[in-house]
Amino acid sequence: MKTKSNSKDSAAWIVHTVPGFSTARTAYSWPVAENARGHLLICLTISTSQINTIAASLLLVQPMIHYNDIPETETAGMPYFNKLAEGKISPLPPFTSRRSISTENARSPVAVDIYSKSESSKYEIYKKVIVKVLKKTIKVWSRRDNILKGDCRGSQRHIRLIKSPAAINGHNTNLEADITNWAVSDPGNIFCHVDK
């Protein structure tokens, strides 16, 4: 989380799968071995008033905070952010949450829904959270596990696993080389980044 120095009401939130990115206030060198792997980086420009909402959703997933430049004087009214910054993560219920924010764009702000679940949650993120809320069939690009083995149906909606190897927008990839997890609604007007 980083606030812009030239604006008192603007911040950035970065979601990524890049390994080791980025040690606070030091130069970052991309690991050459990662060139062959798929990565996903999403950067949203948001109002600082959205920071506490994001922090509330992140409390469940036990994130690693690489960098925070927000002075304590500015976070006095942000209880969730302060808990997150201090590493005070509670393993108590509820184990899932839904929060909504929007990007900072006067003409056409983008609505962003944040769904979180803790490792203690028995819910499978695609079947029990995303499909239920979207009420749409989704196509999923994710490594398979004991729960997410193949296509499945639930609540009159389908979860369709994209077969590996695949060509995504003309780029050949496979699940062994691509560590991202994402889903797209079918029809594809909703994109979900999933950080597992």
Structure confidence by residue, pLDDT tens digits, 12-52: 556 655 555 555 566 667 778 877 776 766 777 778 788 88
Tell me if 50 sits within 8 A of 70, measured CB to CB: no
Three-state SS for 133?
helix
Strands of the sheet containing 41-46, edge to edge, are: 2-3, 11-16, 41-46
Per-residue pLDDT for 161 more than 80?
A: yes
Write the CB contacts of 64 (distance below 8 Å, at least 6 apart in sequence).
none
Task: Please give the mean pLDDT across all residues of the chain.
Answer: 74
CA dihedral sign, ordered 21, 117, 90, 57: positive
Which SS3 state, helix, strand or coil, does residue 166 take?
strand
Q: Given a cut of 50, is residue 6 above it in pLDDT?
A: no
Task: Please state the rounded mean pLDDT for residues 159-180.
Answer: 82
Instruction: Give the C-alpha separation, 12 to 170, whole Å.
Output: 30
Distance of CA 153 to the CA centre of its chain: 24
Distance, CA of 98 to chain centre: 12
